[in-house]
Every structure is written in C-alpha cells, then in structure tokens.
Amino acid sequence: MAEVIVTGLGGFVGSYLKTCYTNNTDFHILPFTLKGITQIEIPDGVSGVIHLAGKAHDLKGKSNWDEYFYVNTTLTEQLFDAFLKSQAEVFIFVSSVKAAADHVDEVLNESYIANPETDYGKSKLLAEQYILAKSQGIGKRVYILRPCMIHGPGNKGNLNLLYKFAKNKLPWPLGAFHNQRSFCSIDNLVFVIDQLLKRKDIPSGIYNVADDNAISTAQLVKIIGKSLGNKPHVMQLPKKLIHFIASIGDFIGGPLTTHALNKLTENFVVSNLKIKTAIGMELPFSMESGFQKTFESFKNTK
C-alpha cells in the first residue's frame, strides 16, 4: 500500500478525503503539518503529496497580505522544494479558480490569462507560478487543481445561509437575476485527486475542477426547497428596486448590501473540459446528486 502525505487534513476537503480513504486498499493517507516546522522534509517511502492546507479567502476583509503570502505562497514553495528532494513521484496542489480571476464574463478555462484581484487569489497564483517554474523536466508528475466553489457534507458558507433561508420558507427576492455559477461537488474533486494519484498517463499541468452544469442562485434555492419537501416562493422584484435596497443596506447596514448582492447574482462559469479529456471519462457525480448529498447533510446539523 502506497503512502501519501496530506496537508490540511483537518479542513473541509481534508476531513472528507480522509473519510473516503479510510478503507482504501491503494493508498494510506498520512497527516502532514506545516505549522511550526523550520525545515520541511518528506519521509522516505512516501509516493505522493496532496497539498490542501492554506489560508482561506477572508470575506470579512480582516486578513492582510503577509498572512496570505506566508501560508499560501511561502509554505507551498517550501513543501514543493521538499517534494523535489524526496522520493515522492506525484505532487497535487489544490489551489482555486480565484488564482485565475475574481470575475469572469465568459466561461473560465485554463488558457485564461490569470489576473486575480484579491490577496487570496494573488497568493495562490504566486504559489502556482513557483511550482510551474520548478517542475520542468523533473521526471515527476505535478498537478495544480483549481476547483470552483466546493460543496459537500460539512460545507460552511453561503450555501448554508441559502439553506436556512429556504428552510424558514422565506420568499427569495432575487428571482429577476438569472445568473449562472459553477460549483464543484467534493466527491468529484476527490475522484479527480484519486485518478491523479493512481494513473501515470495524465499529463502534469493546471486543471479546473467543476461540476458539468452551471446554475442560477434562484434555481439553487428551488433545489434546496425540493430537498426540504417544500416549494419556495421566488419573487420577481424589479432589479432597480433590489439595487436601491442594497444601497440602503450599504448605508445603514443589513443583510443585503451591494457587495452581498453582487456575490449572490454574479456569473462565474468554469469549464471542466480539460480535466475530463485528460482522464478520458466523465466526472461521476452530477451537479444535482452532489447538491442532494450536501443538503441531506445539512438536515443533520443545527
């Protein structure tokens, strides 16, 4: 059984990955911490490295560049340098689509010229660039995965807020906004990681990871309602009125501000064609089945 070290096993993706590999006969997952280590060394006998640890995007804007740079860039560089010196054959860095862009008008694919706006995205991109620059001709497999918004059991964030909204049978006021947004089932992400570990025929490089279909926020609210056994009321309020209400929220504070409105109604469609072509098969979980599993898990949490 091959041994694979994983950073960030205590996080959302890491915890789920550990669960999936608990009874796996191909790989033995070992936790690997980067905190407090002055010199990173990868033990002999390790065949692969999965780098999940990182500083997540701070929606409250309280984090500074130094924090992002140290955790997302410097530690990634040090881990990759250790990988280069080790016997390990494959390195998988789970980055983010935010390393490429924070806003996209068209479908985002891997040929898009990266131009992140936030410190989070910039720190991830710098780590990617370091890895790419040092991975040429090394005789090892190196993958950079850019998942879009990940959902699954244990998920925290905006999906939970939407779920509570639908659970309380509140009317959804943003039905007039027909945005399209990509999501990534955590099961599809784990499937891709598993394929990269097992197979030697998948070329190194950058790969977006997303479910096949994009969805509007209003459609997502309806799917949540269906999982709860109720039919949410989606209101078609005029966009001008909604923007006016959001501007008031900017001034007096409240749940709906211009920033929150933009996040809930923006387009962000991500192509998964490159990774599906590379592995030669479709991703196993549909967007609908992934969301169903996610929302079922919400029922068991307070």
pLDDT digits (tens, 9 = 90+) for 138-188: 999 999 999 999 999 878 777 877 888 888 888 888 889 989 999 999 999
Q: Give the pTM.
A: 0.92
Asked if 259 and 162 touch (Cβ cutoff 8 Å), the reply is: no
CA 205 from chain centre, in angstroms, equals 17
Q: What is the mean pLDDT of residues 20-32?
A: 88
Pairwise CA distance, residues 145 & 210, whole Å: 10
Domain ranges of the chain: 2-147
pLDDT digits (tens, 9 = 90+) for 233-258: 888 999 999 999 999 999 888 778 89
pLDDT digits (tens, 9 = 90+) for 84-124: 999 999 999 999 999 999 999 899 999 999 999 999 999 99
Tokens for 196, please give them: 């990269």
pLDDT above 70 covers a percentage of the chain that reads 97
Q: Which architecture, in CATH terms, is 2-147?
A: 3-Layer(aba) Sandwich (3.40)
Beta bridge partners of 94: 145
